[in-house]
Chain A
């Protein structure tokens, strides 16, 4: 997104937003955004890949732990929407013509697509496959 203040615009990225929160001393909030928008999507993709490898190569044992991994992935996905909601609130509130304005950038759409697609991916994974492969 781009934040314009008094005619001076500067594009903000997710990482930039986190850094500016840290500079402002809002470390807990910065951590929250870091976890929700960067760590969760990354770990989720990694987790889904591991689950698919597990099922594909019929890894034996620890089926219960794999099921727990699946549950965590299915649960945390929605929290990545935090950034999207935050942008929608900022876009609505900070809309004062030339004085200050927030405009959502193309990365917002890409990020939203990641969140939705990984949610569908997690939803379409069938945890029964983990158990079917156990001998």
Chain B
């Protein structure tokens, strides 16, 4: 029996012969235009390095004050967590959980999973959970919303600027750096390449 190697476009199910694009090339589905693969230079090494950097940055970004305000003689610092805690105290459970998941837990899991996967691939260490981790990472991508949080922070600052004095904490710099790192992480991770390596490691 001859083995036929086809791939199906994830968006329109068209059967395609898998291409092996070179660096700098993009592979689009000829029917619906879906971006199938875009090879990245040293994808595994970069993902490995970036996820270590992200893992380090996540601590100051979470624990140190992002913005502080001074209003009528009172001052207050806000961290990523303080919004969640205040919402809990006001019994807004739903929103508190949503904010916690999308600004704290999912970004953290995202980086931990990238770190775990790229570590195994970098050191050629097979792991039976690799495929599960990869699948989880792909599902969670969308629910980590650091960049939206950043925009929310800007709008909040604009609203507060007229009535109070704002100061930016060290946590904010760590947060912005983390935002950039997660963006680079998403673009350095070549999914097709990662899946291929995961398959090879299994054998």
Query: Are A and B a genuine interacting pair, yes or no?
Result: yes
A residues with a Cβ closer than 8 A to B are 5, 17, 21, 24, 26, 29, 32-33, 36, 63-64, 67-68, 78-79, 81-96, 99-100, 103-104, 108-109, 112-113, 116, 119, 123, 127-128, 130-132
Out of A63, A93, A112, name the residue touching B32 (CB < 8 Å): A63
**Nearest residue, chain A, Cβ from B142:** A78
Out of A82, A92, A113, name the residue touching B86 (CB < 8 Å): A92
User: A78 CA to B149 CA in the complex, in Å?
Assistant: 10
Write out the residue numbers on chain B whose beta carbons fall within 8 Å of the beta carbon of A33.
155
Determine whether the beta carbon of B95 is less than 8 Å from that of A93: no
CB distance from B110 to the nearest CB of A (A): 14
User: A77 CA to B188 CA in the complex, in Å?
Assistant: 24
Out of B90, B94, B148, name the residue touching A103 (CB < 8 Å): B90
CB distance from B129 to the nearest CB of A (A): 24
User: A87 CA to B32 CA in the complex, in Å?
Assistant: 39
Write out the residue numbers on chain A whose beta carbons fall within 8 Å of the beta carbon of B162.
24
Determine whether the beta carbon of B87 is less than 8 Å from that of A82: no
Write out the residue numbers on chain A whose beta carbons fall within 8 Å of the beta carbon of B83.
85, 88-89, 91-92
Determine whether the beta carbon of A85 is less than 8 Å from that of B142: no
Q: How many A-B residue pairs have CB under 8 A?
A: 144
Determine whether the beta carbon of A93 is less than 8 Å from that of B33: no
Chain B stretch 132-177: residues in CB contact (< 8 A) with chain A: 142-143, 145, 148-149, 151-156, 158-160, 162-163
Determine whether the beta carbon of A93 is less than 8 Å from that of B156: yes
User: A131 CA to B11 CA in the complex, in Å?
Assistant: 9
**Nearest residue, chain B, Cβ from A66:** B32
Determine whether the beta carbon of B78 is less than 8 Å from that of A84: no
Out of B14, B69, B96, B142, name the residue touching A119 (CB < 8 Å): B142
Main secondary structure of the interface of A (DSSP, over half): helix
Determine whether the beta carbon of A85 is less than 8 Å from that of B159: no
CB distance from A39 to the nearest CB of B (A): 15
Out of A78, A83, A93, name the residue touching B67 (CB < 8 Å): A93
Q: Is B12 an interface residue (CB 8 A)?
A: yes
Write out the residue numbers on chain A whose beta carbons fall within 8 Å of the beta carbon of B87.
88, 91, 104
Contacts A85-B152, A93-B76, A93-B156 given; does A64 touch B32 at CB 8 Å: yes
CB distance from A51 to the nearest CB of B (A): 13
Determine whether the beta carbon of A79 is less than 8 Å from that of B148: yes
Determine whether the beta carbon of B149 is less than 8 Å from that of A90: no
Determine whether the beta carbon of A90 is less than 8 Å from that of B148: no
Q: Is B44 an interface residue (CB 8 A)?
A: no
Determine whether the beta carbon of A84 is less than 8 Å from that of B99: yes
**Nearest residue, chain A, Cβ from B79:** A92
Determine whether the beta carbon of B69 is less than 8 Å from that of A94: yes
- Could you name 12 residue pairs across A and B whose Cβ atoms are closer than 8 Å? A21-B159, A32-B155, A78-B143, A81-B149, A86-B159, A89-B67, A89-B83, A89-B153, A93-B68, A99-B74, A112-B94, A128-B13
CB distance from B94 to the nearest CB of A (A): 5
